[in-house]
Chain A
Amino acid sequence: MLVLRPLDKLPGLNTATLLLVGTDDALLQQRADSRLKMDCASELRVHLARSLPLPSNVNRPLVDLLVFVINLHSKYSLQSVEKSLYHVDASFFLGKACFLAAGAGRESHCSVHRNTIMRLAHTYRSPVLFCDLEVEGFRATMAQRLVRMLQICAGHMPSVSA
């Protein structure tokens, strides 16, 4: 059982790594990936994981920003994210982790109440971003925000740190 730690590896030169943990909707995640790659100045690596803990036999770089993707339409994704949270070292929550609530645009399809996510984010003292990954405009905005946060976490922004 491997607990994910923020500083257990050396950071790469001019690279930033984003780990998306969450839903099994691979299509949405791929779309999010492609948008993210377009916006970043430094070299951006995006890793996807359905849940934590990650298998220990793979050689992977240091994770700069950890994003938990929760699909508001399915309670199952909330449950799997809650289980993954146990495998994350506490120092990640000092600014290197955030929650992304996807599917917030279609209120009639939501099974999870907004307040549940907000309480979860409040407990872990991390920001929560609500978005609708299916709409192109929102996806682009979300990608820009994530890239910005990632650059701060990776230390690529002068005089700003996580």
Chain B
Amino acid sequence: MRSALGGGLGLRLELHFSAMQKTMDPYDAPESTPRQHPSCSLKEYFLAATPLQRRLESVRKQATSFVPTPPRRRIPQRSQLQEDVDPQKVAFLLHKQWTLYSLTPLYKFSYTNLKEYSRLLSAFITAEKQKGLAVEVGEDCNIKVVFSTLLGMKGTQSDPEAVLVQILSKPQLPSEDREAKALWTGWFCCVFGDGLLETVSEDFTCLPLFLANGAESNTAIIGTWFQKTFDCYFSPLAINAFNLSWMAAMWTACKMDRYVAATEFLWSVPCSPQSLDISYAIHPEDAKALWDSVHRTPGEVTQEEVDLFMDCLSSHFYRHFRIHLSATRLVRVSTSVASAHTDGKIKIICHKYLIGVLAYLTELAIFQIE
């Protein structure tokens, strides 16, 4: 009896330490929510002596790891593969308003069949447009769809390559072959998507973030084709006020050589009959100075720093206008790095931090899929 107890105590201590170590790991990786520690693994079942001790261990582990701790995130850095990104090639991605969608993994998508996909999608779009909805005499159905890969739009080597889809209008005159105008652009990417890549099997390609620019009808048609061909599912990615404040803090933290735009926030006041909007613009250097005074650990952003940053702005506003901004809803954040709207619209301005912005958006998309 005594030896069993002693043995039990010793084992219990070991288990406790291993539980603590396990809870340490999620803090290093950037995560949107600290995941609750999964219950006993097989190893622990072998270590615990009796069923009662096992149950006690699981209860104790749940009790200690229940308290969710605030997440930490890295400030967007240049990715390791920055050399592959050709600024000229990605210049068309900047300064455009993209609508965001999250996409579940694609089944049996292959990078070698891109020409085939282009052909099939062109045929599909032409068929859809000719379904007899409207007879437009002048409009030519001669559109061309081009699939291509975007090199360098990824965070680590294990991320799949980004795919670009463009609907180009075929030029009327055959001599102007080079100048096809892009009617609609959409691209899929995955930046630092390690959390998702580990969980899916080989047949699936994970490109959870989808950005679209162009007519909504085209987006819907292309979405339908992808859903039918690759058995995936699109859903619009909305960004809530909590994530917008994180974005504001992270983008203000980015070091910029010169600022092209003021740091601007848009708040929506929920009141009837129609909502009011409050727009709050700050000089970007002042915002950076405020952030620097709040910031502690270099290279990392914590929840307290984000809250403090936003609270400073709110209290300044309150002092002048006697309006509690915390009772309103943050709808839009616009900085020199990028600008984001709560409906899932984003515009990236600075190419240096493109990967960083995409990394955060990928995280949100993965969180929505799961």
What is the chain A residue whose CB lies nearest that of B331? Answer: A109
A115 B270 Cβ-Cβ under 8 A:
no
Residues A95-122 near B (CB distance < 8 A)? 107-115, 118-119, 122
Q: In whole angstroms, what is the CA distance A113 to B34 when docked?
A: 12
Contacts of A73 in B (CB 8 A): 241, 270, 329
Residues B313-344 near A (CB distance < 8 A)? 324, 326-330, 342
B326 A75 Cβ-Cβ under 8 A:
yes
What is the chain A residue whose CB lies nearest that of B246? Answer: A113
B327 A108 Cβ-Cβ under 8 A:
no
Number of A-B contacts (CB under 8 A): 46
Q: In whole angstroms, what is the CA distance A109 to B268 when docked?
A: 11
A111 B70 Cβ-Cβ under 8 A:
no
CB distance from B49 to the nearest CB of A (A): 30
Answer whether residue B33 sits at the interface, using C-beta atoms and an 8 A cutoff.
yes
CB distance from A139 to the nearest CB of B (A): 19
The residue that A111 contacts in the complex, of B66, B324, B330, with Cβ under 8 A, is B330
A111 B242 Cβ-Cβ under 8 A:
yes
Contacts of A114 in B (CB 8 A): 33
Contacts of A141 in B (CB 8 A): none
Answer whether residue B67 sits at the interface, using C-beta atoms and an 8 A cutoff.
yes
Q: In whole angstroms, what is the CA distance A160 to B177 when docked?
A: 82
What size tier do the contact residues of chain B reach? 20 to 34
The residue that A109 contacts in the complex, of B66, B67, B241, with Cβ under 8 A, is B241
B328 A74 Cβ-Cβ under 8 A:
yes
Contacts of A119 in B (CB 8 A): 67-68
What is the chain A residue whose CB lies nearest that of B237? Answer: A108
B329 A77 Cβ-Cβ under 8 A:
no
A76 B240 Cβ-Cβ under 8 A:
no
Answer whether residue A91 sits at the interface, using C-beta atoms and an 8 A cutoff.
no
The residue that B327 contacts in the complex, of A76, A107, A115, A122, with Cβ under 8 A, is A76
Contact mask for chain B residues 179-215; partner A; CB cutoff 8 A; 1 contact, 0 none? 0000000000000000000000000000000000000
Contacts of A109 in B (CB 8 A): 240-241, 329
Q: In whole angstroms, what is the CA distance A138 to B293 when docked?
A: 44
Residues B232-250 near A (CB distance < 8 A)? 238-242, 245
Q: In whole angstroms, what is the CA distance A109 to B33 when docked?
A: 17
The residue among B66, B68, B70 with the most chain A CB atoms within 10 A of its own CB is B68
The residue that A122 contacts in the complex, of B67, B70, B242, B270, with Cβ under 8 A, is B67
Q: In whole angstroms, what is the CA distance A21 to B90 when docked?
A: 53
B241 A110 Cβ-Cβ under 8 A:
yes
Contacts of A108 in B (CB 8 A): 238-240, 342
CB distance from A23 to the nearest CB of B (A): 9
Q: Knowing A73-B270, A107-B240 are in contact, say whether A118-B324 is a contact too (CB < 8 A).
A: no
Contacts of B242 in A (CB 8 A): 110-113
CB distance from B303 to the nearest CB of A (A): 8
CB distance from B84 to the nearest CB of A (A): 35
Q: Knowing A109-B329, A111-B330 are in contact, say whether A76-B68 is a contact too (CB < 8 A).
A: no
Contacts of A74 in B (CB 8 A): 326-329
- Sample 9 A-B pairs with CB under 8 A, ordered by A number: A73-B270, A75-B326, A107-B238, A107-B240, A108-B238, A108-B342, A111-B241, A111-B326, A122-B67
Interface residues of B (CB under 8 A from A): 33-34, 66-68, 70, 238-242, 245, 270, 324, 326-330, 342
Contacts A111-B241, A113-B242 supplied; 6 other A-B pairs, CB < 8 Å: A74-B327, A76-B326, A111-B329, A111-B330, A118-B68, A122-B67
Interface residues of A (CB under 8 A from B): 73-77, 79, 107-115, 118-119, 122
